[in-house]
Amino acid sequence: MPIRRLVLDVDMAVSEPSLPELARALENVPGVEAVNVTVTEIDIETIGTVVTIEGEALDPDTVQHAIEHVGAVLHSIDEVVTGSYTLNHTSRKR
């Protein structure tokens, strides 16, 4: 089954890369159709982001290489969606 969505925890330096630069690098990965980069925290030296990528057949290794190529760091893969269509996350009620 193809991977259709990846949600990633990505950190980068405050100085480089810029958010648009990271988004463009990921947009150029084969199979990527959409990229969303959201800042989750900022400190003196780093910016924490959540990156959501959607496409038809995403390759996590190629995505990680693109992230590292621009100077950012992949901390974790927090969500993977596979199958013939994309499911939206639903929270459990407590």
Whether the link from the prior residue into 17 is cis, omega within 30° of 0, is: yes
List, for residues 29-48, the tens digit of each pLDDT value: 999 999 999 999 999 999 99
For position 94, what pLDDT does the model report?
66
CA 81 to chain centre: 13
Digit-coded pLDDT (tens) for 38-92: 999 999 999 999 999 999 899 999 999 999 999 999 999 999 999 877 777 667 7
Sorted by where each starts, the structural domains of the chain and their CATH numbers stand as 3-82 (3.30.70.1340)
pLDDT given at position 63: 97
Task: Assign 25 a pLDDT band (cuts: 50, 70, 90).
Answer: very high
